[in-house]
Each structure stands twice: as structure tokens, then as C-alpha cells.
Structure 1
Amino acid sequence: MDSDFAIIGGGVVGLSVAWGLLKRGKRVLVLDGDDGSFRASRGNFGLVWVQSKGIKQPRYAAWSQQSATAWAGFADELADATGHDMSLEQTGGYDLHFSEETLKKTVAQYEELKAKLDGNYPYEVLDRKALLAEEPEIGPKVVGAILHHQDGHVNPLKLLRSLADDVRRLGGQVLSEKTVTDVRKSDVFTITCADGSHVQANKVILSAGLGAMELGPKLGFKAPIRPQRGQVLITEKLPKLINRPSLIARQVDEGGVQIGATNEEVGLNDGVTQSGLSGLASEAVAAYPVLADAQLVRVWGALRILSPDGLPIYQESPEMAGAFLVTCHSGITLAAAHARFLPDWLEGTNAAPDLEVFSEDRFIVS
């Protein structure tokens, strides 16, 4: 049986969209790659994060806020259906600062963004004394923090498992070891995989992360995305040390402290380096000196997906009507929006969110 939608890419982005479409009664097929595929969904930091996003594009801030607001209900519905607790905590997150100068500069940027959002940007500035009251283990080098109340974190692997399980429960097909090599369109789309198999669908969504670099142009997209490496460390399981996450460190639901991440332009190299890991460890110890005695149990590198301006790309192909590119850097943060609101855009309903600023028209590709 043909599908209404074939989704190329079985990570958090693709599965979130699949889940949302299935909830609307659509027939959905997800094609996931092999174990050699670069998988941001298995290597990310697990943040549901609003602050600092959209400084130069308020629509991105608003889109992130809309998703963050929908996250609790999204997580509850998945948990009720699958029995998996994704350990969502959404009591705010910190932007830690080691100098008064950077803190004041960031606050000024936030105030400008807040004005553009009609005041809807719930944050407060904590001086060192106020921060210590919230985080007793904070180090003496930290002068203060910005606490944004819409921020939080989640266990990304449990999210991925929950989405995959519920997509199948809802009647979706998820086919693994399917590397798509070509997509053609006549009356319907015919998708060819490297193993010689073919599937058909009325519409196609390309959400294959870095795989869109090669496949995107075949569907008429510019797909001007690139990889950026992030190295991450995780400690042994520890007693409760950190109450809220930051971009430097977060204590995960199982007790370990996750430290990261680097921002490296190294092509498709997802390895780790001594210099990168040492830099992360040094900053984490400066923020939380108690971590100096913690044992590291795991390190990894993963590749982010970035557009030239760092914003998501939502685009229907100008050459193949019914083919859509959905790609972003913040797949965890935007998972709720992709599940709850993006299906209206994909189907062109009256409730479709305005995503025009995220189209490929903003890029000039020579």
C-alpha cells in the first residue's frame, strides 16, 4: 500500500514529524539509514532550549518558545502511550558568565529581543549571591547567570526510543538499513534505496540530517547545510550537584554530569581530541569545582547540522511539488513543534504556522 508520506531520516526530527502526521490519520513510512550514518539524535546534549536563540531573527525565538511551551504535553502523551519516562525537567536553564562585561552585553541583547517579542521572554539576571542560593556548587569564577524560565532538558535517547515505539504503535512503518539513493516523481514519488528496494508515497519529507547534503539537490533543494562537530564528556554517576542545566554542563536523570560541547568546523570528522576534551573539562571545573574529582566514563563526538545562518530550513521543492526539506540544528527543542504544528504546514491547512523566514529563499547559492 502506498503511503501518504515517506520520511527519509529516522532521527528525532523525522520521527517527530511522523508521529504528528500519524496522529492526524495519515499513512506514514519512515526510511532510516544504516549504522554508519551520522546521527545527531544519538550524540546531542538533550537541551530543550530557548535562550540565546533568535537574537538576529525573532521568529526563530518565537518558534522555539512555541515548541518549548508544548513540550510538557508532548512528553506526557508519549509517556502515557509507551510507558517511557523521558525525564523532562523544565524549570529553567542558565547562561553562566565569568565576567560582568559578557553578562551585561548578553542582557542588552536579550532586552532588545524581548522588546521585539512584545515582552514575552521570561528571564532574570542572577548575581553571584542569588546564583549560589540556587546552585551551591557554583565556582568562585562565575560572576552571575541569566536564568531563562522556558529552558530545560530531557533524556534524548529515551525520547528517540519513545518516538520510534509510538510511531510503530500508531501504525507507521519504520524501515532500518535503508539508505536512499534516488527519488523520482510521476503520479507519485518512487524512492530507491541502496539495497535495490523501492517504495512509493504521495509526498516525501527529507529529514535525513547531513544526508540532505547529497540527496537534497536531487529533489530540487539547495540544502546549504554543513556539519559542525561537538565533543562531549560524561562523568560517573554522582549525588545531586546541579539543579538546572546550562550550556556548560547538566546533570542527567541517571546521575552523570554531561559536559560540552565544542563547536568545530572539521568536516565529517566526528572523532574526539585531547585539546577539545581538555578545554571542556577545564570550563566545567571552573563552573563547578566539585567536578575536578569526578571520574569520566565516556566521551564522544557528534556532528550537528547547521545552515549558513544557523536557523532551520522548511522548504517545499520548487521542482517536485510535494517534496519537503525539514532540517534544523535544534531537533530536541523543536520536537514538540514538529509533532504538533508542522503537519499543518505540510498539509497547507488554515492553521499552518508562518515559516516563510525559514525557506531557502534567504540563501544565495552560486
Structure 2
Amino acid sequence: MQSSNPNTATNTAEVAVIGGGIVGLAIALGLTRNGHQVVVLDESDIALRASQGNFGLVWVQGKGDTLPEYAAISRQSARLWRSLADQLLDSTGIDIQLQQKGGLFFCLTEQELNNRQQMLQQMQQAAGGDYPYQVLDLKQVQELEPEAGPEVAGATLGPEDGHVNPLLFYRAMTEQFLQSGGRIVHSGKTTDIKPLNQGFTVTCHDKGLDQKWHCDKVVLTAGLGNKELAPMVGLHAPVEPNLGQVLISERLKPLLNYPTGHVRQTNEGTIQIGDSKEDVGFITDTRIEVLAQIANRARKMYPILNKVRLVRTWGALRVMTPDGYPIYQESTRHPGAYVVTCHSGVTLGALHQGPIADWISHNKTELPLEAFNGQRFNG
């Protein structure tokens, strides 16, 4: 795909978005929709690239069990997803394969199912009764998923859940962003952000050379890099890596009707399996003992997977705050600087392209963003 390559030592843009993953591209796309001149400063392939390992779920059920505001914005994003997918198809011709007919969360014991039901009941109460879900026994599960195995105690069904092809989503956003006049610069690592009386100067370093950008606003969407960048503009983003490992099967005929929190079948036929959450620093290596645990749980859910050949594995790093919830904040010390960080870039993609980009554009919002202020971690 075409991207910009600046030829001068000092460059200008109205808004600089630092970080060109799914979160950064979604916000950049929304900012161009609002008429801004936007440049995305991307570190290139030496970066950690959380977006490349995304599982592709548009997931609502269970998110925000301890923070109703997070449940609310997850549901809001899910409602916006169809219009975003249609918009991307119209402008680029790329079908991002969005399906939103619901999602299942399988439980392998009665205790697990009871605990999940209690959690969802509490979330429904916190939402004033407006939080749809169903609790299914094994027979009801098998009516929806005939391949579900006898070791499944039951499942919860979230009617707002779904999944998407994250790589096609990324490609479509990139194409529409460039069509709209946006620029993507593979600028190397951002080493400094200097607040000025008016705007900011962003310095990037690549192959021994510095490159400077002057911008009116700067948006930090650099994933794990936000931890280092945020203090430069008076913000706080204490993010840490969390490893997820994934197994990928050979291509198969359609077997699974619904995505689950652990297993989904893609449009191409491959089955993705993964649910590990490991605090191992910046290590992305897969480990056979963890992959065996993932595979064992999946085969209990779907015994047919015992016959399936696995063709590859990968490990990718989630971007996690101490409480697991996003940070959305404008700097009070240096207005015009924003931080956006989360580990659910796909689920929240439509929110980022829409209401979050609108907040950055207009400096106002009806979103409950006070709940996502990074200063909550200072105490």
C-alpha cells in the first residue's frame, strides 16, 4: 500500500497519530472524516505489532463486569460495527467479513456456568435491566452448535457478539485513510514529543536520522510504547505486556456456527484456538505446555477437533493496564495531547473511528470518559 515518505527535515500536519495499528488507524480514519489533515507515524516492522496477533472478536458479553462504563462503551461500539463495515465496503470494495449473530462462551463445569450466570446477572442489574444474554444447558448449546461435546456443561449466549477478519479490517481502514488524504509515514521510533506554546514537535528516529513533525494535536496510540511516550505530554499510561498464544488449524468445511471466547472458525475455514493470558514480559515465544492446555480445552468443547491438523502457532502481546480497562484522556497540562490505549482494538474499533475520533476533533463528548482517566492509577 502506498504511504508517504517526507523529504524535508521538518514536516507539518494538523494531527499526528503515533502508532499505526488497529487503534491508531481507526482514530486516524475518524479524524480525516471530520476534515483534519492527519499523519500516522508508524514505527515499522520492528515494533511489537499487537494488531497482527488479534483474535478478531467483536465481543460484548462479560466485558466490564467490574466497570459498567466499559460494558456500555463495548455495547455502543458493537452497535456501530455494521455501519462501519458497510462504509469500508462501499469505499474500498473490501469485505471485512463481519458476522454479528451472537457469540457463545462455553463452560466445562456447572460451577463455572453458575459463576458466569451470576456475573452476567450483576451486569444486567448495573445496566438497569438492559443487558441481553441467555444461559444455555448442553442440549440447548447443541441445538446451536451440533459439534459441542458432552463435557460442556452449558454456555452463555451474547446476542451482540460477533467476529471479523482483523487483517482485512486493517487493510480496509488503511486504504480508506489514504484515499481520504491521510498520510502514513514509517518514521521509526518516536523519541521525543515537545509541547510548544502552540502545538507540539514530534521527533522520530530511524536509521541514524531524526525526523521532526510539527502538529496542532498529537494522539498516542502506540500500544505498549505509550508507557514511555505519555509522560512527555503530562499523561500516565502504565501499560504492560500480556502474552496470548494461538493455534491455527488447516482449512476445513464450515463446522462452527458461532464464535466463542476461545475458538472461532474464520471465513477461510481455519479454526483459531487460544485463550492464554501470561505475564512473561516481552517474550512472544510459544510454549508447548501452554499450547497443550489450550488444545485440551478446545477438544473438550468440540471433540471433532481431535481429528484436525494444526498448521501453525503464534504468540502476541496484549496491551494491558493494571485493571484491564482502557485509558482515554486529554492532557490537562498540555491540551491537545491525547492518549488512547486498550487491549480490545477490534471490539472498540467502531467506537474509536466514531465517537472517540469525534471527541478528539471537537473537545467534547457524551462518553463516560472520566472512568478511563489514567490518573486512576496514581493512588
Structure 1 runs (4+) greater than 3 angstroms displaced: 347-352
Residue 348 (structure 1) shift: 4.0
List per-residue Cα deviations over 1:165-220 (Å, max 9, x = no partner): 11100100011243211011212211111131111110000000011122222222
AA aligned to 2:148 is: I
Residue 55 (structure 2) aligned to one of 45, 48, 65: 45
Alignment of 1:119-138 (within 5 A): 119-138=129-148
Q: Give the structure 2 partner of residue 159 of structure 1.
A: 169
Alignment of 1:81-160 (within 5 A): 81-160=91-170
Indicate conservation of the 8 Å contact 2:69/2:368, yes or no: no
Alignment of 1:137-286 (within 5 A): 137-186=147-196, 187-195=198-206, 196-286=210-300
List per-residue Cα deviations over 1:276-327 (Å, max 9, x = no partner): 1111111111111111111111100000001111000011123322110000
Residue 351 (structure 1) shift: 4.4
Indicate conservation of the 8 Å contact 1:49/1:150, yes or no: yes
Give ranges in structure 2 of 5+ residues lacking alignment: 1-10
**Cα distance in structure 2, aligned partners of 1:135 and 1:354:** 37
1:9 aligns with 2:19: yes
Give ranges in structure 1 of 5+ residues lacking alignment: none
SS at match of 2:335: coil
Identity between Structure 1 and Structure 2 (%)? 45
- TM-score, normalised via structure 1 length: 0.97
**Cα distance in structure 2, aligned partners of 1:184 and 1:350:** 24
Indicate conservation of the 8 Å contact 1:178/1:194, yes or no: yes
AA aligned to 1:328 is: C
**Cα distance in structure 2, aligned partners of 1:90 and 1:243:** 11
**Cα distance in structure 2, aligned partners of 1:356 and 1:162:** 31
**Cα distance in structure 1, aligned partners of 2:357 and 2:227:** 23
Residue 347 (structure 1) shift: 3.2
**Cα distance in structure 1, aligned partners of 2:323 and 2:242:** 13
Indicate conservation of the 8 Å contact 2:31/2:361, yes or no: no
**Cα distance in structure 2, aligned partners of 1:43 and 1:148:** 24
**Cα distance in structure 1, aligned partners of 2:271 and 2:301:** 13
SS at match of 1:197: strand
**Cα distance in structure 2, aligned partners of 1:190 and 1:364:** 27
Residue 352 (structure 1) shift: 4.1
**Cα distance in structure 1, aligned partners of 2:357 and 2:107:** 39
Query: C-alpha root-mean-square deviation of aligned residues, in Å?
Result: 1.2
SS at match of 1:2: strand
SS at match of 2:244: strand
SS at match of 1:283: helix
AA aligned to 2:368 is: D
1:323 aligns with 2:323: no
1:354 aligns with 2:365: no
**Cα distance in structure 2, aligned partners of 1:264 and 1:280:** 13
Q: Give the structure 2 partner of residue 310 of structure 1.
A: 324
Q: Give the structure 1 partner of residue 302 of structure 2.
A: 288
**Cα distance in structure 2, aligned partners of 1:137 and 1:151:** 20
List per-residue Cα deviations over 1:102-138 (Å, max 9, x = no partner): 1112111111111111222111111111111111111
Aligned length: 365
Q: Give the structure 1 partner of residue 6 of structure 2.
A: none
List per-residue Cα deviations over 1:23-54 (Å, max 9, x = no partner): 11111110011211111111011000001111
Q: Tell me which moved more, 346-355 or 204-213.
A: 346-355
Residue 266 (structure 1) shift: 0.3
List per-residue Cα deviations over 1:194-253 (Å, max 9, x = no partner): 131111110000000011122222222221110000000110001111100011200011
AA aligned to 1:70 is: L
Indicate conservation of the 8 Å contact 1:35/1:177, yes or no: no
